[in-house]
Structures are given as structure tokens and as C-alpha cells.
Chain A
Amino acid sequence: MTKILVSDDSAFMRSIITNTLREAQYTDIVEAEDGEEAIALYRSEKPDIVLLDINMPKLDGLSVLETIAPEGATVIMISAIGQQKFIDKALETGAKDFFIKPYAIKTDLVSKINCLSNEPSHD
């Protein structure tokens, strides 16, 4: 079972993402609402995949990425910030992909998670 950490300060976005993941049979989900909680949950829960917003309280997503990528985290960035500099920095730091909000969660994001997951296709 693939465990996914959804890190976004927006309860609304977390709700949309987790509902979509559950529909795609990804039911082992933990949620963080700020950057510090994301790091703590990554270390305690050891998720297989981390979905990480950039604009979060306490610690931004790029700082979280810099902390957990060297620890082996598989990270997909999700942000409304679409400036190339941030995308390049995230990918250079180790993010596997970068989705600009809003995006097609049901197709693009789940497809990417399917690719990164060790499990068979969840289509």
C-alpha cells in the first residue's frame, strides 16, 4: 500500500486531493497543514510519496523539500506559483515533478503517482 503525505495549508485543497486519491484507491493518506508538520510527519510516517505545496505557514515548501529530499523523500510539488525560477529550483533540489494549480488532479497527478508508486496501476 502506497502511503502519501499531502502537505497544503489549504484545507479545501487537501480535501480535493485526498478525495481524488481515495477514488484512485490510494487510501493510506496523512495530511500536513504547514511546513514544520510536513517534515515531522515525513519522519514519523515515512510516506512513499510527498505532495508539497510551496506557499505554507511556518516553513515554505521549498525549504521542506531541501530538508527531506536528502533523506530520500519522493516529492511532487503542487503550487499556484508558476514562475520558472521556483520550478527549476524545486526540480534541481530533487522534486520528481511540479504541478501548477489548478491542474487536472484526476488525470495528471494520479498518473504521476501511479508512475512513482511501486503498486500496480490504480486506474
Chain B
Amino acid sequence: MDITPEVLETAAQQGAKGASDALAMMTSKQVIVSTSRVEELSLSGLVEVINTPDENNIVAYSQVLTGVPGAALLLLERQEGLKLIDLLTGSPPGTTHELDDMGQSAIKETLNIISNSHINALSADFEMDMGIDVPNLITALNVAEAIDYVAEESGENTTLYVFETILTVEEQYQVNVGLYIIFNPSLAQFIKKMKE
């Protein structure tokens, strides 16, 4: 199947629905897809979309290993991350104040599950094998470094396909989760180097 904007959009919608269903099942709460889109962006456009958060925020990442090179990022403001941990662990809102090992693991697993919903949809639509690596956590500073690296390797004028899904968990938790799957060989290379 040819990679066209229409096919990418279909995969984005399928992936977003899968991610929403997955997060709903993980949390036993209603989850709304606030944003679901795929765009071809410049690097400066990407910076605007992911709105590079400050160093206290939480970024989980995973390299797309096979199929189309790229990376999956889960971006959370710190307070959103702590609320997500409360939600995932079944704790009352406001219980978690620190990002301990179990909390980090919960966030990484969230990335793993909801990014795979997109990867599974893309794989089915494009009839190609796709897979992502074991998730890790980084700081926002690394995101800025990643963008600089892509600019150096691919040029300032390079464009990237970006899948953006914003999921909102309703009820008392009110958590917003931003998932970005970005296809670019230089970004995949940066993620690989960072892991090494």
C-alpha cells in the first residue's frame, strides 16, 4: 500500500482509538481522544507541536526499531505524570508526590501500550513489520538535544511525519497524556545513541 496522507490519517485514527481503548482498560476510566492527527512538519513546526516542556516534566521515549525509523514520545507535565501514576496504581488523586521506580515503570508501560496501538495499526495498513524498543525516560532537555541533532544530521529544512494523540482521562483525575510518534531516521539514530 502506498504511503499517502489519507492512509496515514486512517492509521492515526485507528491508532488513537486503540490508544484510548488501551488507556481506558488500564485505568478503568473513560478516556477521550482530545486530538488525533498526522502532519508533515518542519523542525520548527515540531517544536511548536510538542511545545518542549521544562526540565521538571516527564518524557518517556522508545525507538521505532523496524519498519519506518523514528521514535515514540509520551510527554507529560510533571503534575499530570503524578496524577497518571495515581490513576494507574488505583490511588486517590494527590497520593503520588515523587516519581519513584514503580511510577517510572508505570509511565513507561503506558507509552509501550498506547504507542503499540498506533504501531499495530500502521503495520496492518502498510503491510509491513514494525516494532518499538523497550521504553525509557528522559528529560525535556534531551528532547531539545534531539531536535538539534536532527537539524544537524538531516538539515534545518527536513520534514517529519508526526502522529499526535492527546488523551484525556475524565472523572476526578483529569489527566492529559500527549503521545507523539515521529518518523525520521536521524531522530531514531539519536534515540539509539542516547540508549547506548
Contact = CB atoms under 8 A, between A and B. Distances in A.
B158 to A, nearest CB: 29
Interface in A48-92: 55-57, 80-85
A101 interface: yes
A82 B108 contact: no
A106 B26 CA distance: 12
Is chain B's interface secondary structure helix, strand, loop, or mixed overall?
A: helix
B134 A55 contact: yes
Contacts of A81: 116, 119-120, 131
Given A102-B22, A102-B25, A10 B112 contact: yes
Interface residues of B, number: 24
Contact of A82 (B102, B109, B120): B120
Contacts of B134: 9, 55-57
Contact of B133 (A12, A15, A55, A103): A55
A13 interface: yes
Contacts of A85: 129
Given A81-B120, A82-B116, A12 B105 contact: yes
B139 interface: no
A55 B123 CA distance: 17
Contacts of B22: 80, 101-102
Contacts of A84: 124
Interface residues of A, number: 19
A12 to B, nearest CB: 4
B151 interface: no
Contacts of B123: 83
Nearest to B133: A55
Given A57-B134, A85-B129, A101-B113, A12 B102 contact: yes
Nearest to B88: A12
A11 interface: yes
Interface of B: 22, 25-26, 88, 101-102, 105-106, 108-109, 112-113, 116-117, 119-120, 123-124, 129-134
Q: Which 10 A-B pairs have the closest CB atoms?
A: A80-B116, A12-B105, A12-B106, A11-B105, A102-B25, A10-B109, A82-B120, A80-B113, A102-B26, A83-B123
29 contacts: A9-B134, A10-B105, A10-B112, A11-B101, A11-B102, A11-B105, A12-B88, A12-B105, A12-B106, A13-B105, A13-B109, A15-B102, A55-B112, A55-B134, A80-B22, A80-B112, A80-B116, A80-B117, A81-B120, A81-B131, A82-B117, A83-B119, A83-B131, A101-B22, A101-B112, A101-B116, A102-B25, A102-B113, A104-B25
Given A56-B134, A103-B25, 19 more contacts: A10-B105, A10-B108, A11-B105, A12-B88, A12-B105, A12-B109, A13-B105, A80-B22, A80-B113, A80-B117, A81-B131, A83-B120, A83-B124, A83-B130, A101-B112, A101-B113, A101-B116, A102-B26, A104-B25
